[in-house]
Amino acid sequence: MAFDDPLDRPRAAGGRAPDVFRRGGWVPMREYRDSEPVDFVIVGTGAGAGTLACRLAEQGFSVVALDAGAYFRPLEDFASDESEQTKLYWTDDRIVDGDNPLQMGSNNSGKAVGGSTVHFAMVSLRFRPEWFKSRTLLGYGADWPIDWREMWHYYAEVEDALKISGPVTYPWGTKRPRYPYRAHPLNAAARVLAKGCEAMGISWTETPLATLSAPRGLAHPCVYRGFCVTGCSTNAKQSVLVTWLPRALASGAEVRDLAMVGRIDTGSDGLATGVHYHRAGQWRFQRARNVVVAGYAIETPRLLLNSANDQFPDGIANSSGLVGKNLMVQSNQAVWGTMEDEVRSYKGPPSLAITEHWNYDDDKDFFGGYAYMSQGPLPQLWANTQLGAHGLWGEQLMTAMKDYNHVAGLKIVGETMPQERNCVTLADEVDQYGLRIPRITFSLCDNDKKLIDHSLSFMGQALSAAGARNIWAQEDDTCHLNGTARMGDDPRRSVVDADCRSWDIPNLWICDGSVFPTVGGVNPSLTIQAIACRTADRIHQMARRGELERLPAARPRRVLTPSA
Amino acid sequence: MKRQSLFLLCAGIGAGAVTLALSRRQPAPPANRIPARRDLSNTPQHSSGTVRAARRLNRAAGLLATSVLADSGVEHYRGSFKNRAMFTPLIVSGATLAISAHGTADMRPAAHRVRDVTYALAAVTGLVGTGFHFYNVGRKLGGFSWQNLFYGAPLGAPMAILLSGLIGFSSERLRESQPDEQQGPEIFDLPAGRMLAAVISVGLLGTTAEAALLHFRGAYHNPAMYLPVTLPPIGALLMAQVCVGTRTRHVAARNWMWLLVAMGFAGSGFHAYGISRNMGGFANWSQNILAGPPLPAPPSFSGLALAGLACIDLVREHPDA
Ligand SMILES: Cc1cc2nc3c(=O)[nH]c(=O)nc-3n(C[C@H](O)[C@H](O)[C@H](O)COP(=O)(O)OP(=O)(O)OC[C@H]3O[C@@H](n4cnc5c(N)ncnc54)[C@H](O)[C@@H]3O)c2cc1C
Ligand code: SF4
């Protein structure tokens, strides 16, 4: 038998898809013909796409989700090896520029069925309620067209779907329901954060994480080996791959792996008709009544721009001119130090303790907020950090690495401001599929820099108060990508409405990190999934009322008919 | 080597539990049986029913000690025996198990010096251990926070060896008490049966609290996890009734204690299933026994319930006890 390489040949085919919970197992998968217009074709299978695919399939829609990445079997395909696991990252060619060119790859984009959540760090936080109206209430950025109370409902749904392990009570903000699973034990790195916070007189807590602190179905509880950001081989991590997608398949959705979408077609009526995708060596066209784009904040605008045609010469869904604009990362600066005692920070999930103090305290001289968390860099990453920050190499690097077990660090997830100059455009170069590659332009603004300075100074004090020595700041890191197809109330100033529906093309939807008008100071995946759940419910309602193009209300549906 | 010793420990524990379970089935020698309600010539004024109750209490104390031996063995091994004191519960519970076996086999209606001292030591160990565990949790960052209650030294665990000691000690007092016509056996001038009933009732509640805390940590992810937090409190109530109630046969309490005996052993089965759900399942037992739910913990309910049964018998035979 030929070696089964998930990167070489599609696995989801022949009426079955990999069973992620059983070695060598399969689950049945419904398949659709390219010529058969499905209700929804979805580009991507990540936080936004996978969640939406599941919810739509469960409502009875026919769904096909396409992902450029491979369909991995975590129990078999994931090695405890940083180099091997680079197979999870989106490392296709991209051009970066601006004052602060972004480093693309491991820390911000995934290419796999399940999207970036396959190697994300599992931190699962809610927005601060005021952030949904940050322009009106806090004086910066843009308002979301969604009310926080509605989001609170969907956050709870996602937290339950992922069995988030979190503290018994959360110290900040509006009351939230108890997390479904209890918090994990703190490692020594987390206790350093806690000690620092206590010394500085601010609150801290156990980080709400999408990894199991007790068994769940066939998924094992976390074993605290700390390889989370290179892919979890126990299925403790509640990634989209092991949560929403098995549900989606069970409800009749089809997932196509190693399927790169290159272009969305529109018809003479200005509506989307389907997508061109490359799979198993050839270009194909999947017809669809609705197209959803959820390729994350670089690939989503790239696809929309690459789909320009005579009718939409500036790219589709782009009458506002905002496709690709307002790219927001999150600042990801850190302070590091060495502790007298061994820390072994890499034991367990990397961010077991958190403080959101500066997200909820408005006594600052800058807009926005940040959270900071304990850290647990794996050895290669740590060596790279040393190399990048201090230029260490050879003997010096070896000496520095001897302190690895004593290192403790604090790292922020900081809000950056939406700026139109930060954007994704198309370069002239093409990739392996012949598609124009994205050019990613990013510069920090003064407010962003002030926030970073504040955080570095505060964390430095906290780390020192916790007893660390040789403290130094890592000033250049970023994480997460958002905002390049923002949602809003006004078609002239946003790309999609509150339902993630394009203003220009009513059967085109964008449902991923791109739709964020602001990013807040928390990791985005919980919010992306909550929005996807909301979008699914809105589609359900609109379909019932016959408000969806090409989806007549009278069409019989599994779930919709009883109530329709 | 480490794995081997762990295996030996487990094997020893298994053997101890089996011995105890079998001894339950052993009929008492006829000499003791026939004159059950009459005075034996050389043991004036002493009912053999009292000795029987005492032996049953020894057995119950033994089962509790077994649970402690295994549980503290595994948990303190997990804690790498960082502190020498962490060997104490192993030694003490091992000794308690041995003398309980001795007591279970011993028909003589008199207290035994070594047993007495050992049981007293066990009780003191339980108290000191509780103190240690409180100290350990309290000094951690965050003090008595959920995090430390879940993952620090379990506050309630040393209580099991305290209960074992108390029950065993009571057993000895029972043997040496000289009930006359008016009075049943006494422990420290209190009616033995009723006092024991109170101890068992409180013990059941304490053990429930421990299970409730740790099952809350497990988010009650399996509905069966509600059993040890709902059934034992009812048992505690029934034992409280035995303590203060009027003279009846206590049928409900008896049946309930049997239910708890079964629940305790079934609990180990459930915990074994819980262990198998960790990465690697049983094949990876040497890690998963440490990572999963504690295999030997649930039978402490069985131990208490067995003591409850002995106590009910005692009260039944000596209504004033
Ligand atoms: C190392 C790392 C750690 C992170 N840690 C956290 C964390 O702790 N907490 C948190 O909330 N967030 C975290 N994130 C961010 C989080 O993973 C992302 O914000 C989230 O997954 C984005 O969701 P999405 O649906 O927008 O895109 P993704 O989840 O990235 O999914 C996009 C998918 O679309 C596919 N795709 C893109 N373009 C095409 C195309 N043209 N054709 C076919 N398929 C395509 C990609 O292959 C990918 O699988 C982390 C991210 C990384 C990289
Ligand atoms: S530490 Fe837990 S979540 Fe992270 S990779 Fe290991 S088992 Fe998975």
Q: Which residues, listed in sequence order, are joined to residue A205 by a DSSP beta bridge? A: A354
Q: What confidence category does residue A2 fall into, taking pLDDT thresholds of 50, 70 and 90? A: low
Q: What percent of chain B has pLDDT over 90?
A: 62
Closest-CA distance, A519 to chain B, in angstroms, reads 30
Query: Which residue minimizes the CA distance to atom 4 of ligand 2?
Result: A228
Query: If you average pLDDT over every residue of chain B, what do you get?
Result: 84
With beta carbons less than 8 A apart as the criterion, state whether B66 and B13 touch: yes
- Per the structure block, which two tokens stand in for B276? 């198998």
How many other CB atoms sit within 10 Å of the CB of residue B123? 21
- Per the structure block, which two tokens stand in for B200? 């068992």
Q: Is residue A75 a part of any domain in this protein?
A: yes
Q: What confidence category does residue A217 fall into, taking pLDDT thresholds of 50, 70 and 90? A: very high
Kindly determine whether residue A220 and residue B291, on different chains, have CB atoms separated by under 8 Å. Answer: no
| Region for residue A158 given its phi and psi (left: phi exceeds 0; alpha: psi -120 to 50; beta: otherwise) | alpha
Complex ipTM, two decimals?
0.92
Considering only CB atoms, B141 lies closest to which of A168, A198, A215, namely A198
Residue A77 CB contacts under 8 Å (≥ 6 apart), including other chains: A6
Q: Which residues, listed in sequence order, are joined to residue A272 by a DSSP beta bridge? A: A266
Considering only CB atoms, B279 lies closest to which of A168, A216, A234, namely A234
How many other CB atoms sit within 10 Å of the CB of residue A365? 9
With beta carbons less than 8 A apart as the criterion, state whether B201 and B243 touch: yes
> Mean of the pLDDT values across residues A470-483?
95
With beta carbons less than 8 A apart as the criterion, state whether A473 and A460 touch: yes
Q: What confidence category does residue B319 fall into, taking pLDDT thresholds of 50, 70 and 90? A: low
- Per the structure block, which two tokens stand in for A450? 């002030």
Q: How many domains does chain A have?
A: 1
The answer, yes or no, to whether any atom of ligand 2 lies below 6 A from the CB of A488, is no
> Mean of the pLDDT values across residues A351-355?
98
For residue A421, the enclosing domain spans 32-544
Query: Which residue from A34, A31, A48, A108 is spatially nearest to A293, judged by alpha carbons?
Result: A48
The answer, yes or no, to whether any atom of ligand 2 lies below 6 A from the CB of A228, is yes
Is the model's pLDDT at A3 over the cut of 80? no
CA–CA distance, A334 with A316 (Å, rounded to integer): 39
- Write the CA distances from A553 to A42, A545, A557, integer angstroms: 21, 6, 9
Kindly determine whether residue B146 and residue A168, on different chains, have CB atoms separated by under 8 Å. Answer: yes
Helix, strand, coil percentages for chain A (3-state, nearest 5): 30, 20, 50
DSSP string, A270-281: S-EEEEEEEETT
CA–CA distance, A299 with A514 (Å, rounded to integer): 9
Q: What confidence category does residue A197 fall into, taking pLDDT thresholds of 50, 70 and 90? A: very high
pLDDT for A476 equals 87
Nearest atom in ligand 2 to the alpha carbon of residue A224 is: 1
* pLDDT tens digits, one per residue of A271-308: 999 999 999 999 999 999 999 999 999 999 999 999 99
Phi, then psi, of A331 in degrees rounded to 5: -70, 145
Which spans in A330-423 are helix H? Answer: 357-360, 379-390, 394-401
- Range name among A204-213, A357-366, B7-16, B159-168 with the lowest pLDDT average: B7-16
3 state DSSP class of A205: strand
Nearest atom in ligand 1 to the alpha carbon of residue A48 is: 25
Q: Which residues, listed in sequence order, are joined to residue B190 by a DSSP beta bridge? A: B187
Is the model's pLDDT at A549 over the cut of 80? no
**Whether B284 contacts chain A with CB within 8 A:** no
| Burial of residue B205 (number of CB atoms within 10 Å: 0-12, 13-18, 19+) | middle
* pLDDT tens digits, one per residue of A301-349: 999 999 999 999 999 999 999 999 999 999 999 999 999 999 999 999 9
Q: Which residues, listed in sequence order, are joined to residue A288 by a DSSP beta bridge? A: A38
**Whether B219 contacts chain A with CB within 8 A:** yes
CA–CA distance, A428 with B304 (Å, rounded to integer): 78
With beta carbons less than 8 A apart as the criterion, state whether A115 and A46 touch: yes
Query: Which residue from B169, B174, B197 is spatially nearest to B184, judged by alpha carbons?
Result: B174
Q: Which residues, listed in sequence order, are joined to residue A481 by a DSSP beta bridge? A: A329
Q: What is the DSSP letter of A469?
A: E
**Whether A94 contacts chain B with CB within 8 A:** no
Is the model's pLDDT at B179 over the cut of 70? no
Q: Is residue A526 a part of any domain in this protein?
A: yes
Is the model's pLDDT at A406 over the cut of 90? yes
Kindly determine whether residue B278 and residue A223, on different chains, have CB atoms separated by under 8 Å. Answer: yes
Considering only CB atoms, B147 lies closest to which of A183, A216, A234, namely A183
Is the model's pLDDT at A412 over the cut of 50? yes
**What residue type is A438 in one-letter code?**
P
Tally of CA atoms within 13 A in the half-sphere of A38 that contains its CB = 28
- Range name among A250-264, B68-82, B176-190, B268-282 with the lowest pLDDT average: B176-190
Q: Which residues of B touch A182 (CB under 8 A)?
A: 146, 150, 216-219
CA–CA distance, A163 with B217 (Å, rounded to integer): 13
With beta carbons less than 8 A apart as the criterion, state whether B177 and B185 touch: yes
- Per the structure block, which two tokens stand in for A414? 């900081």
Q: Which residues of B touch A206 (CB under 8 A)?
A: 147
CA–CA distance, A344 with B270 (Å, rounded to integer): 34
With beta carbons less than 8 A apart as the criterion, state whether A94 and A298 touch: yes
Is the model's pLDDT at A478 over the cut of 80? yes
Closest-CA distance, B310 to chain A, in angstroms, reads 37
CA–CA distance, B23 with B45 (Å, rounded to integer): 27
Q: What is the DSSP letter of A10?
A: -
Is the model's pLDDT at B7 over the cut of 50? no
- Range name among B158-167, B240-249, B277-286 with the lowest pLDDT average: B240-249
With beta carbons less than 8 A apart as the criterion, state whether A296 and A109 touch: yes
Query: Which residue minimizes the CA distance to atom 37 of ligand 1?
Result: A295
The answer, yes or no, to whether any atom of ligand 2 lies below 6 A from the CB of A236, is yes
3 state DSSP class of B219: coil
Considering only CB atoms, B141 lies closest to which of A185, A194, A220, namely A194
Is the model's pLDDT at A410 over the cut of 60? yes
Query: Which residue minimizes the CA distance to atom 41 of ligand 1?
Result: A261
DSSP string, B220-287: T-SGGGGHHHHHHHHHHHHHHHHHHS-S---HHHHHHHHHHHHHHHHHHHHHHHHHHTSTTGGGGHHH
> Mean of the pLDDT values across residues A500-510?
98
Q: Is residue A444 a part of any domain in this protein?
A: yes
Q: What percent of chain A has pLDDT over 90?
A: 95
| 3-class SS letters over A320-331 | CCCCCCCCEEEE
3 state DSSP class of A18: strand
Query: Which residue minimizes the CA distance to atom 14 of ligand 1?
Result: A120
Ligand 1 is surrounded, with C-beta below 6 A, by A 43-49, 66-69, 106-112, 115-117, 119-123, 229, 260-261, 294-296, 299, 303, 480, 512-513, 523-526, 528
pLDDT for B259 equals 97
> Mean of the pLDDT values across residues A383-391?
91
Is the model's pLDDT at B4 over the cut of 60? no
Rounded to 5 degrees, what angle do the CA atoms A485, A488, A489 make?
150
Query: If you average pLDDT over every residue of chain A, what do you get?
Result: 95
Q: Which residue of A has its CA nearest to B148?
A: A185
CA–CA distance, A119 with A136 (Å, rounded to integer): 35
3 state DSSP class of A221: coil
Site to substitute for ligand 2 among A120, A223, A229, most atoms within 8 A of C-beta: A223
Kindly determine whether residue B146 and residue A191, on different chains, have CB atoms separated by under 8 Å. Answer: no
Query: Which residue from B253, B248, B255, B257 is spatially nearest to B319, judged by alpha carbons?
Result: B248
> Mean of the pLDDT values across residues A494-511?
98
Which uninterrupted H or E stretch holds A437?
Answer: strand A436-441
Residue A44 maps to which CATH number?
Answer: 3.50.50.60
Kindly determine whether residue A223 and residue B291, on different chains, have CB atoms separated by under 8 Å. Answer: yes
Distance of CA A379 to the CA centre of its chain: 24
With beta carbons less than 8 A apart as the criterion, state whether A507 and A25 touch: no
Query: Which residue from B18, B141, B20, B32 is spatially nearest to A204, judged by alpha carbons?
Result: B141
- Per the structure block, which two tokens stand in for B96? 């308690």
DSSP string, B273-291: HHHHTSTTGGGGHHHHHHH
